[in-house]
């Protein structure tokens, strides 16, 4: 179900006033900037500004919207962003399983079949396991190595420049990788670390890339919400060392 523009307006006054503005780190040209949100509406519009732009399967869209809800609820308790990060990464994994798992399995099947035929033997148990077991890390690498994803094709990377190291976090050349982050959040201590700046935006960009051949959604929040994510990012880009 698409997130309505007035989602969770009822919690606007529930934040403890003594906490002051909600301050979040987010990627900006040349590094990471700080954005301050004095009102719930400003924070809500910022998060809604990172909605999916492409038509995706319902299971992917639902998971991503759930991640956005958790980010929005961070207005009440900032730790909820860590839960939002995990859900965002599960949405990404669902998208990659849908788009790439079949192709990667077929590729592996051909490789082991040719090797076994060349050596005049049956497939080994290890080869069969390798063919059938595709990890999140494998699928992230598939995007780069076999589906042509580059730095220039990631909107966040174009906006911020090479400092975002987005491709390295897919291939594992930059640690922690997105796969590492997902594993840490799922099996470690998800609320003990600081949020990863821009994770929601990066996940949105990657899902959009995976479904780039699908139609654009007619209306997304980042276009229609006054003072929303697009305007916030413009402010962050121009004042990358000050609160936006």
Query: Given this model, what pLDDT does residue 239 score?
Result: 38
In a domain, 233, yes or no: yes
pLDDT tens digit string along 87-104? 999 999 999 999 999 999
Split at pLDDT 50, 70, 90, the class of 53 is very high
Residues 150-188 have pLDDT tens digits of 988 999 988 887 656 789 999 999 989 999 999 999 887
Round the average pLDDT of the chain to a whole number and report it: 85
**Predicted pLDDT of residue 7:** 58
How many other β-carbons are positioned within 10 Å of the β-carbon of residue 223? 14
- Would you say residue 154 lies in a domain? yes
**Mean pLDDT of all residues in 47-61:** 95
In a domain, 2, yes or no: no
Separation CA 49–CA 40 (nearest Å): 14
pLDDT at 116: 92
Structural domain contains residue 3: no
Using the 8-state DSSP alphabet, how is residue 133 labeled? -
What is the pLDDT averaged over residues 103-120? Answer: 94
* Two tokens, residue 26: 């987010």
- pLDDT for position 161: 76
What is the reported pLDDT for 32? Answer: 87
Task: Give burial (CB, 10 Å; 0-12/13-18/19+) of 97.
Answer: middle
Q: Is the pLDDT of residue 212 over 50?
A: yes
pLDDT band at 13; cut points 50, 70, 90: confident
Distance CA 30, CA 14 (A): 35
The predicted model scores a pTM of: 0.85
Q: How confident is the model at residue 24 (pLDDT cuts 50, 70, 90)?
A: very high
Specify the pLDDT at position 189.
Answer: 60
Domains contained in the chain, number: 1
- Does residue 168 form part of some domain? yes
- DSSP state letter for 149: -
Show the domain range for 213: 9-238
Range with the largest mean pLDDT of 73-77, 160-164, 185-189, 240-244: 73-77
Q: Is residue 4 part of a domain?
A: no
Kindly state the helix (H) or strand (E) to which residue 36 belongs, with its residue range.
Answer: strand 31-37
Tokens coding 169: 């976090």
Instruction: Using pLDDT thresholds of 50, 70 and 90, give the confidence band for residue 235.
Output: very low
More confident residue, 6 or 236: 6
pLDDT above 90 coverage of the chain, percent: 65
């Amino acid at each position: 179900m698409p997130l309505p523009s007035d989602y969770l307006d009822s919690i606007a006054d529930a934040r403890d006033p003594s906490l002051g503005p909600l301050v979040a780190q987010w990627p900006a040209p040349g590094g990471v900037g700080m954005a301050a949100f004095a009102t719930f509406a400003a924070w809500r519009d910022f998060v809604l500004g990172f909605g999916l732009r492409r038509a995706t399967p319902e299971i992917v869209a639902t998971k991503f919207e759930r991640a956005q809800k958790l980010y929005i609820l961070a207005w009440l308790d900032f730790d909820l962003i860590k839960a939002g990060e995990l859900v965002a990464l599960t949405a990404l994994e669902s998208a990659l399983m849908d788009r790439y798992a079949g192709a990667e399995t077929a590729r592996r099947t051909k490789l082991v079949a040719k090797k076994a035929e060349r050596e005049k033997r049956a497939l080994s148990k290890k080869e069969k396991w390798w063919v059938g077991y595709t990890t999140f890390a494998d699928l992230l690498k598939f995007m780069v190595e076999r589906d042509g994803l580059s730095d220039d094709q990631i909107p966040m990377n174009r906006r911020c420049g090479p400092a975002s190291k987005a491709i390295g976090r897919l291939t594992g050349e930059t640690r922690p990788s997105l796969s590492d982050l997902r594993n840490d959040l799922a099996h470690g201590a998800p609320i003990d670390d600081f949020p990863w700046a821009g994770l929601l935006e990066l996940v949105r960009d990657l899902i959009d890339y995976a479904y780039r051949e699908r139609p654009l959604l007619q209306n997304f929040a980042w276009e229609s919400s006054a003072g929303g994510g697009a305007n916030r990012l413009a402010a962050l880009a121009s004042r990358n060392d000050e609160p936006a």
